[in-house]
A and B are shown apart, each in its own frame.
Chain A
């Protein structure tokens, strides 16, 4: 019989009876819950983003990444297929790959020279037969029982995903047709890297997962967005979710803006900005996808986001670095056959996002303010009733926290809390 996670914690987590409209603050700073997430979520029946296929284009290429805090190697073997495995030697547990990327025929742990092929199978053990007839491994040592821990891989729209669980359904089933169709919209084409950086944020990883799904805050905290009419709650737009609520899409159509007196009447911070730009050309865009959507944020549970704002295409991937630290990677992409002008426009639009982004800059610190605000409040909880208390699509309005509730619905099911 499965034991629920609540019972596995020495101090059981009792979720508030209001359900996903409440989140106990404890989940953001409890070390035991953080450890359990690695077992139930990151090693659970979900797909974790690993890397982009263009990171490992050639036979013998490898790249290191993380699932939760677990170090991972992704390779492309001589057979052209992509493999993934835990970056942990089967001998004493040292990292096998030290470089973040490279190309090799074999992977060798530098500690005692145990050597693995690019699929993670053990191919060589130094001094296996000892030296001068003495020492060495026991007679019954079987290399087949000592390989790098394998991770099942699927590739979708140029993105490599991995799972530890045999129970994880095929990737498109995991996402559902609506979500996978929207990934194809953004990423279903050959892409190339235009630049990358990361930022360390001083808060629990789930606060960024919430933040990405928080369409309520997007136009209030982020003044720049609102004033320059890229994304406001009074534009046509909405929230779509997968049936299980775990993944979501937030979209807006810039050309449909209807001025909503609510912004001016309430005097919200984001309506006060004088919208005159000295150099509006940094927002120049070219027509790319013919559906009227000019701003789209899509999350894939647990730690991935695909962004297409104007023409700024980016994959955001966040990695927990302890219970109160998160590293957010920004991979900016362009179409493989973009013209120089198109690359220029994507480059200038990139000023909107990233760790110095006109729009996203605040997200670097806002979740830290939640972390600092909630620490020590063991029996207190957040209140998430904007747009109702349930998990349902919200076509036509983004003044809702429905997608955040969807995240917690999935989280609770996986964690058994």
Chain B
């Protein structure tokens, strides 16, 4: 919880990411994440996180009320690997793909090596029969660890605007 609270409460005192090359590095990393899922490489998904990272899909109501339970939550990279394994080996669903449309990321620096980002997004889901729907609209609230070369997500909250999910959510957002 603390990572998000710090995003929300200290953003006024955090500083801009002054180094343009660092900004591009983080922005590209966030875009690569979306393309990884859209291109069906979800087995790479845990690699985008630090080993002790927190990942959650929740909705605006839960997020604003401070409720701990969302729709999907992993408190370690190991849990993310279990998610991936379940997608391939356990869960049953109709084939579909996502297309993430990202807004521009707003980056801030908490301290050297630790950055915060907010990125608005929409996700269109295409089913095997050609049916298409916008299944998610919301914001990523991220904390990113970056030593200058390889950014990793330390904390990603996927906050959906709607409390209502269409059918199900299989792949992470």
Residues of chain A having any CB pair with chain B under 8 Å: 193-202, 221, 223-224, 227, 269, 272-274, 277-279, 282, 327, 332, 343-344, 346-348, 350-351, 354-356, 358, 361-362, 364-366, 368
Contact = CB atoms under 8 A, between A and B. Distances in A.
A412 B74 CA distance: 44
Interface in B47-82: 57-59, 61-62, 65, 67-76, 78-79, 81-82
Contacts of B163: 196-198
B67 A224 contact: no
Given A195-B69, A221-B92, A227-B90, A279 B82 contact: yes
A195 B165 contact: no
B164 A282 contact: no
B73 A347 contact: yes
Given A196-B61, A196-B67, A362-B91, A202 B72 contact: no
A216 B13 CA distance: 57
B67 A355 contact: no
Contacts of A194: 67-69
Given A199-B167, A361-B93, A354 B71 contact: yes
A331 B94 CA distance: 26
A277 B93 contact: no
Contacts of B86: 224, 358
Contacts of B68: 194-195, 343-344, 347
Nearest to A312: B69
B72 to A, nearest CB: 4
B123 to A, nearest CB: 13
A199 B69 contact: no
A279 B69 contact: no
Interface in B112-138: none
B62 A224 contact: no
B168 A365 contact: yes
A327 B75 CA distance: 29
B39 interface: no
Contacts of B93: 361-362, 365
A197 B70 contact: yes
B90 A198 contact: no
A199 B89 contact: no
Nearest to A363: B168
Contact of A355 (B61, B73, B74, B169): B169
Contact of A199 (B76, B82, B85, B165): B165
Contacts of A358: 86, 90-91
B165 A198 contact: yes
Contact of A364 (B69, B78, B167): B167
Counting chain B residues whose Cβ lies within 8 A of the other chain, the interface size class is 35 or more
Given A196-B61, A358-B86, A282 B79 contact: yes
A221 to B, nearest CB: 7
13 contacts: A194-B68, A196-B61, A196-B62, A197-B165, A269-B92, A273-B90, A350-B73, A351-B74, A351-B79, A354-B71, A356-B72, A356-B165, A368-B167
B69 A224 contact: no
Contacts of B90: 223-224, 227, 273, 358
A198 B81 contact: no
A279 B71 contact: no
B170 interface: yes
Contacts of B89: 223, 272-274
B67 A199 contact: no
Contacts of A198: 163-165
Which of B62, B76, B82 has most A Cβ within 10 Å? B82
Given A196-B62, A272-B89, 8 more contacts: A194-B69, A221-B92, A224-B86, A348-B73, A351-B72, A356-B165, A361-B168, A364-B165
Contact of B167 (A195, A201, A227, A346): A201
B168 A364 contact: yes
Contact of B79 (A199, A272, A278): A278
Given A221-B92, A277-B82, A279-B82, A355 B165 contact: yes
Given A197-B70, A347-B68, A356 B82 contact: no
A395 to B, nearest CB: 29
A332 B71 CA distance: 11
A57 to B, nearest CB: 14
Which of A199, A344, A361, A366 has most B Cβ within 10 Å? A361
Contacts of A197: 59, 62, 70-71, 163-165
Nearest to A366: B92
B5 interface: no
A361 B169 CA distance: 7
A403 B127 CA distance: 34
Contact of B75 (A195, A201, A348, A354): A348
B67 A356 contact: no
B94 to A, nearest CB: 6
Contact of A347 (B61, B69, B78, B167): B69
A347 B58 CA distance: 12
